[in-house]
Amino acid sequence: MLAWAKRLRSGGVLGLNERNGEVIQRFNARHLYPLVDDKLRTKRLALAADISVPELYGVMESQHDIHAWPEIAGQRGDFVIKPAHGTGGDGILVVTGRTSRRQRLYQLIDGNVISEAGISHHVSNIISGQYSFVGTRDCAMLEYRVETDPFFAAVSFQGVPDVRVLVYQGYPVMAMVRLATRRSRGKANLHQGAVGAGINLASGRTLSGVLGNDIVSEHPDTGEPIAGLDIPCWDQFLSLAARCYELTGLGYLGVDIVLDRHRGPLILELNARPGLNIQIANKVGLKKRFALVDRWTATRDADEKVAIVREAFAL
């Protein structure tokens, strides 16, 4: 066992304790957390900095508002309702359309049908804080439903695949694409069973994938190969991610970006405590890359940082 730990250490693999104790506590000042923990604030910040995000249709802040959503949704048949303080993709309701206007039934992305009252109940749960990791009252956001770019639609099982870019001191140091599976029930979170694949930072080409803690080369449901895909608009992904550092000031940041069929890469959310599975997906330890970044100056602008990273972390 000690030999394993030794090998992990020599590979520069970052463990949870070290992430919490040495990285997050040192580089992520606690007062900055609300910027990313509250998705509403993140969205407003991003809009102010002209960073593309899914359009916000409206917010429901109190139990009075739980029936306000049909009005906010208006004529739109598809939208997403999510908690502003949600974590791990919990509490997100993706509505794709109406099945029957008369009976007020809505189609969900997983194929289920939900009534208007059902959605209101969900909104109520969100507001009372069921999905909020701080456990207090929350608000529900109603926003644009991202339509997956056909490029990803082929390899993903339902859901919206996203690209997680890990940004250290403003330098994107590692990235992976996360594809929903049947087991993850349309969600793109690895610990819920989504499949992840590392990305060559220089080229935007995917490496082999990881499912749970195992390495896979094909999508478990679609059977499509995961490795060797060239992600479109890779430049924009990296530059969006790098700019998020300037937006929040968080030194260790996870940036989740989706590729919308109409609007291109959009920032979905930011994470101040990004997970460590990205190392498995890339088969590389994070600490070596951190060490390299530590030697670089932090006073470059986002585009310069992207350029230097693409050169240094080419595989």
Partner 1 sequence: MQGPAYRMILISTLLVVAGGSLFIYKWQVLGFPLRPDAETRIWTVEVTARFEAGPGPIKASFYIPGLTPGFAILEENYLSRGFGYTPGYVAGGRQVQWTRRRARGVQTLYYRVVIYKDSARIESDTTPPFPEVPKVSEPFRTAIEQLVEDVAGKSADPGSFTVELLKRLSQPDRDQNVEILVGAAPTAASIAHTATELLAAARIPARMIRGIYLQEQQRRAPIVPWLEIHDGTRWRYFDPLTGKEGLPDNFLQWWSGDDRLFAIDGGKDVDIRFSVKSDFMSPVEVAQRRSDERNSLVEKFSLFSLPIQTQAVYSIILMIPLGALTVVLLRNVVGVETFGTFMPVLIALAFRQTQLLWGILWFTLLVSIGLIFRFYLERLRLLLVPRLGAVLTIVVILMLVLSIISHQLGFESGLSVALFPMVILAMTIERMSVLWEERGSREAIQQGLGSLLVAAICYAVMDMKMVKHLIFVFPEMLLVVLAGTLLMGRYTGYRLVELYRFRELCKRPH
Up-side HSE of residue 200: CA atoms within 13 Å toward CB? 14
Determine the Cα–Cα distance for residues 43 and 313; give it in Å rounded to an integer. 30
Q: Is 215 in the site for partner 1 (CB under 8 A)?
A: yes
Q: Does 275 bind partner 1 (CB under 8 A)?
A: no
> Is 285 an interacting residue with respect to partner 1 (CB under 8 A)?
yes
Q: At what angle do helices 234-248 and 39-48 cross, to 10 degrees?
A: 110
Which helix (H) or strand (E) element contains residue 253? strand 252-260
Stretch that binds partner 1, among 103-111, 114-122, 198-206, 297-305 (CB under 8 A): 114-122
Helix (H) or strand (E) holding 290, with range, is: helix 286-295
- Site membership for partner 1, residue 64 (CB under 8 A): no
Please give the radius of gyration of the chain, using alpha carbons only, rounded to the nearest integer.
Answer: 19
Task: Give strand pairing partners of 265.
Answer: 259
Distance, CA of 59 to chain centre? 20
Site string for partner 1, 115-154 (x = CB under 8 A): --xx--x--xx--xxx------------------------
Instruction: For the CB of residue 63, give the shortest distance to partner 1 in the complex, in Å.
Output: 7
Q: Which among 134, 146, 27 has a CA at the least distance from the CA of 96?
A: 146
Residue list 74-93, contact with partner 1 (CB under 8 A): 88, 90-91
- Between 21 and 97, name the residue whose CB sits nearer to partner 1: 21
Task: State the residues that interact with partner 1 by CB under 8 A.
Answer: 1, 4-5, 7-13, 15-18, 21-22, 63, 88, 90-91, 117-118, 121, 124-125, 128-130, 183, 191-193, 210, 213-215, 276, 279-280, 283-285, 288
